[in-house]
Amino acid sequence: MCGIIGYKGKRNVKDVLISCLQMLEYRGYDSSGLAVIKNNKIRVTKCVGRIENLKEKVSRYDFDNSVCGIAHTRWATHGKVSEENSHPHRVGNVVLVHNGVIENYKEIEDLLIKKYKFKSETDSERICALIDSFYNGNNELEAIEKATSMLKGSYSLGIMFEGKNKIYGIKKDTPLVLGIGNKEFFLASDICALLPYTKEFIILDDNEIVEIGDNFNIYYDGIIIYKKIETADYDVEEAMKNGYEHFMLKEINEQIDISRKLYSKYITNENINDLIIDLDKYKRIDFVGCGSAYNASLVAKYFIDKYCTNGEFYANCYASSEYRYMNHYFDKNVLVVFLSQSGETADTLACLRMCNEEGIDTVAIVNVISSTMAREAKYVLPMLAGPEICVATTKGYFSQSYICSLLVLKVMYKRKIINREELTRILEDFNKLPKYIDEVINKDYKIIADSIYKNKDIYYIGRGIDIYTCYEASLKLKEISYIHSECFASGELKHGPIALISKRTPVIALLSEFSVCEKTINNICEAKARGAKIITIRKESINIDKNLSDYDIVVPLVSEFVQSILIIIACQMLSYEVAKLRKCDIDKPRNLSKSVTVE
């Protein structure tokens, strides 16, 4: 989604803005721009495409001795990708950048249409005009307050006024932080963007206005308030590529270390600790998330269905965009678990707020601990994955599935479905993960990728937990390689999808469920008989006829509670190698954005 940067300080303003914008590239964007104040005048420069284009364009102007500036990466929502629609927008004396969506922008336009001629199709330009309509040359705070009180929707704004060497920021329902350096101040949608300059920041809450001059003030309802300064718990190196060709590859490799971190936080003395919540007191758990986060929650439901469900206790999984608009029956026996890497995904956040209003107990399994979800959920289980920059999640999904498995094991232990010895044995496998992940990452995926990367369609099949891993594997492949991919419960193949199989169509079968592997092998035979190219990704103890499988990846045998984690890592690597051969922009797939802060 769109990203906002602001800077006031002694460094070269344009250079700081560009370098911070580059740190926000991972969020996804289609155009960018900046506005800089020099000699009391604001110069706006913007362009379509990569930040490199903006860099080239601004290099034509002299920005020396600029005092402050704001900048933006745009991910088109209102209006096509064009220079007019990119930010910053200027109307009258006001220049502004905006992240979010204004629902009543047409009404605002109707109010202002006699006074202003609009150049863009964006809701953002209407906000700019609204602020200008209240501005008398000297009442910046009042103009911002009056204008934003009329807005319906979500926004974070970076605002400057012609002739004033200051930056203002305000937000509602999308993130904005104030970065604090040594006699220099920043605005950003994400603290990650500021890590080369500072780790100190203040999280702005809804309707607070920050005014950045030689120092800063934060106002709420016209009164100065004082807020806690936080320190980011990761370094700039963690947000950089560190020698890897892509963030995705780096993040896949980081899963080794994350499994160590998760183990030491959540498991001590062969016991699961620190999960805060007593799951045992609930009768129903709803898991809610979007995309891969939703896929990770399916792992928890799968195990709850398999081992814990009875008339008294069960779990559901929902995509946030559905959960939000459904009828619900809530009582004190319901726990809702939200999964979100960013902690800002609009639909998931709306569901969390809905549950909080209902007084339901909520848990957020979340990576960004400064995020809105982490602050608003009753309980928080940190994912400890560090900054995830590649748009397609890998380590985020990994961490979510890991924590989901621990949640279920905790329920199983408390309900005496497993005893101490069994729990200890299972947890030993969590401890072995770093070594096994390393082993899985270092298998040869290039040779398989080479044989399938030119195909137009690739299918995944599996049964039991494998079908849920297939959801995530298929999503990963299509989003980064743009190859059409679907997955099917393998028993469903002959009920329709087998019509799609022709000579050399790749079918990737995931095999980690011993009890149903013979059935899946039968389905593989059916696909093979129609000419499919078969790739099997299986656990060590499941054997497969050499003639059946064209390519075979074997992952170490571990407890079923972590087996799917090893299988998905093999799928992540395969998707990565395929996308690389197709020369795709792996870390920034087209049309996607990292933090989906609009509905």
> Which residues are tagged catalytic?
2, 594
d(CA 377, CA 360): 10
Q: Is 281 exposed, middle or buried (0-12, 13-18, 19+ CB in 10 A)?
A: exposed
Cβ proximity to ligand F6R, 85 vs 595, nearer residue: 595
| Smallest distance from ligand F6R to CB 231, Å | 22
Give per-residue burial for 450-476: e unless 16+ CB within 10 Å, then b: eebbebeebbbbbbbbbbbbbbbbbbb
Give every CB contact of residue 392 below 8 A, 6+ residues apart in sequence: 248, 292, 476, 479, 480, 586, 589, 592
Of 379, 392, 400, 381, which is closest to residue 299 (Cα–Cα)?
400
| Smallest distance from ligand F6R to CB 413, Å | 28
Give every CB contact of residue 107 below 8 A, 6+ residues apart in sequence: none
Q: Which residue has the tokens 């910053």?
A: 88
| Smallest distance from ligand F6R to CB 39, Å | 42
Helix, coil or strand: residue 277: coil
d(CA 97, CA 31): 13
| Smallest distance from ligand F6R to CB 369, Å | 13
Residue showing the smallest CB distance to ligand F6R in the complex: 291
d(CA 188, CA 178): 7
Q: Are strands 314-319 and 334-340 parallel, antiparallel or unpaired?
A: unpaired
Cβ proximity to ligand F6R, 121 vs 376, nearer residue: 376
| Smallest distance from ligand F6R to CB 87, Å | 23
Cβ proximity to ligand F6R, 393 vs 485, nearer residue: 393
Cβ proximity to ligand F6R, 13 vs 176, nearer residue: 176
**Cα-based torsion angle of the residue sequence 353, 356, 357, 361 in order, rounded to the nearest 10 degrees:** 150
| Smallest distance from ligand F6R to CB 290, Å | 4
Angle subtended at Cα 28 by Cα 479 and Cα 597, rounded to the nearest 5 degrees: 95
Cβ proximity to ligand F6R, 429 vs 577, nearer residue: 577
Angle subtended at Cα 286 by Cα 172 and Cα 424, rounded to the nearest 5 degrees: 115
Please report, as ranges, the residues that interact with ligand F6R according to CB under 6 A: 290-293, 340-342, 345, 348, 392-393, 396, 475, 479, 595-596
Asked whether the beta carbons of 548 and 556 are under 8 A apart, the reply is no
d(CA 400, CA 301): 13
| Smallest distance from ligand F6R to CB 378, Å | 18
Cβ proximity to ligand F6R, 262 vs 498, nearer residue: 262
Cβ proximity to ligand F6R, 348 vs 549, nearer residue: 348
Cβ proximity to ligand F6R, 120 vs 345, nearer residue: 345
Phi and psi dihedrals of 184, rounded to 5?
-145, 150
3-state secondary structure 133-193: HHCCCCCHHHHHHHHHCCCCECEEEEEEECCCCCEEEEEEECCCEEEECCCCEEEECCHHH
| Smallest distance from ligand F6R to CB 393, Å | 4
Give every CB contact of residue 575 below 8 A, 6+ residues apart in sequence: 473, 476, 477, 480, 481
What's the first-to-final CA gap in the chain, in angstroms?
Answer: 11
Angle subtended at Cα 562 by Cα 560 and Cα 565, rounded to the nearest 5 degrees: 120
Cβ proximity to ligand F6R, 66 vs 295, nearer residue: 295
- List Cα–Cα distances, 358 to 327, 330, 362, 404, in angstroms: 13, 8, 10, 24
d(CA 464, CA 551): 22
| Smallest distance from ligand F6R to CB 547, Å | 35
